[in-house]
Amino acid sequence: MHQSLPSLLFPEYRRRVLGLLLLRPDEALHGREIARRTGLPAGTITRELTKLAEVGLLKRTKRGNQQVYSADTSGPIYTELASILRKTSGLADVLVQALAPAATKLRLAFVFGSVARGEETAGSDVDVMLIGELGFREAVELLYPCQAILGREVNPKVFATPEFTEKAAAEPFLRDVLAKPKIFLIGNAHDLEELVGS
Amino acid sequence: MPMTLKNLLGLSLDAVAPDKAHIGKLLAAAERNLADARLQGLSTENRFDASYKAIMQLAMVALNANGYRTMTSKPGHHQTAIQTLPTSVGLAQNKVIVLDALRKQRNLSDYSGDLVSDAAAAECLASASDLLAHVRAWLAAHRPELL
């Protein structure tokens, strides 16, 4: 298995921190909050934040007696770097935001296929599984704008919840999807297990 | 340069004479496929396929009525047939986006064995029925001699 593009470009911690802050340029966060939202240890993250602030990718400001970090949007490569993150590790963010208007209709949403496995190539599409009370047309219309942002085609698979539950166990395509890595957008692995009753 | 059918000549389209008999056969075939797409005894996949065939036949009607056909020797002739619909019969872009997503779904089910969901089959039937009405209305308004 080859290394995924984002993990080749950036070490894991850096990718998560930059993915969080550069894709939310309006947010200024404290180190502990960044650690919580990236799932990284608070101790290690301070060093990472300091380094990123020193090279001008992040801005460090004081809020009360706290140091907060945010994207330095005036930096010379901010726009390009944010674009790279959006197309790689920020992919899930882009999709979650696109699906937000239909979130109440969706029981589960996840990316599967080569992108979820970290085996994507330049021409790979993004396969998105949507389970709930959503029409195919609505899914296409919600996800269509993502294609230009991500620079990839997005293929939605839309299943009603009972249909998915009924077919998941026996149908080879769904069994394959269930067995392989996923990036969850709405719901989690536990919700999926509940749905398929395993 | 805006896309015209003429500047696709030799790239993905051939010129043909509009043909009333040909259009009549395609419209009848599309209607048969739409009837089959409603047969509940068929698998979701086959109902989807029947609707998708109707979409292709209707896109061929749209091109023929304008004096064109797709070059089947070139890859991507389904894509060409769908993406020329705004130019050939003035179909709205938001409908073309859905038709193109159905085309990709069809590729994935035909060549990778992806499962066709009820939602995809339902949309394929709705889109095909809508396209039939659109193409008929367009012919009646712009090329009544071909009906």
Contact B96, B88 (CB under 8 A): no
- Which sign does the torsion angle of CA B23, B116, A152, A114 carry? negative
pLDDT, average across residues A4-33: 86
The pLDDT of residue A20 is 87
CA A129, A130, A132, A134 torsion-angle sign: negative
Answer whether B119's CB lies under 8 Å from A160's CB: yes
In a domain, B59, yes or no: yes
Using CB atoms, pick whichever of B102, B108, B119 lies closest to residue A135: B119
Number of domains in chain B: 1
Strands A106-112 vs A154-159: parallel, antiparallel or unpaired? unpaired
Domain extent for A165: 91-196
Given a contact cutoff of 8 angstroms between Cβ atoms, the answer to whether B74 and B49 are in contact is no
- For residue B13, the SS3 value is strand
Nearest CA in chain A to B106: A155
Q: Is B87 contained in some domain?
A: yes
A128 pLDDT above the threshold of 90: yes
Residues A189, A99 share a domain? yes
End-to-end CA distance of chain B: 32
Q: Is the pLDDT of residue A113 over 90?
A: yes
Specify if B73 maps to a domain.
yes
User: Which residues does chain A have within 8 Å of residue B124's beta carbon, measured at their own beta carbons?
Assistant: 136
Q: How confident is the model at residue B2 (pLDDT cuts 50, 70, 90)?
A: low
Q: CATH number, domain at B59?
A: 1.20.120.330
Q: Does the ipTM exceed 0.90?
A: yes
Segments of chain A assigned E as strands: 29-30, 58-63, 66-71, 106-112, 126-132, 154-159, 183-186
Answer yes or no: is pLDDT of B59 > 70.
yes
Q: Write out chain B residues lying below 8 Å of A167, CB-based.
A: 115
Most A-contacting residue of B103, B110, B115 (CB-CB within 10 A), to test interface = B115
Does residue A74 share a domain with residue A112? Answer: no
Q: Does A100 lie in the same domain as A46?
A: no
Instruction: Using the 3D structure, point to which of A87, A105, A137 is the last residue of a domain.
Output: A87
Query: CA nearest A128: which of A162, A153, A100, A103?
Result: A153
Token couple for B134: 């659109």
* Residue A168 touches partner B, C-beta closer than 8 Å: no
Chain A residues inside the 8 Å CB shell of B108? 155
Q: Is A133 exposed, middle or buried (0-12, 13-18, 19+ CB in 10 A)?
A: middle
Residues A82 and A116 in one domain: no
Residue at a domain's end among A54, A69, A87: A87
pLDDT at A24 over 90: no
Report residue A89 as tokens. 């590790």
Which DSSP letter does residue A155 get?
E
* B1: in domain: no
pLDDT value at position A1? Answer: 42
The chain-wide mean pLDDT, for chain A, equals 90
3-state secondary structure of B5: coil
Indicate yes or no: CB of A134 within 8 angstroms of CB of B119. Answer: yes
Q: Which chain A residues contact residue B94 at CB under 8 A?
A: 141
Total domains present in chain A: 2
Whether chain A has a CB inside 8 Å of the CB on B99: the answer is no
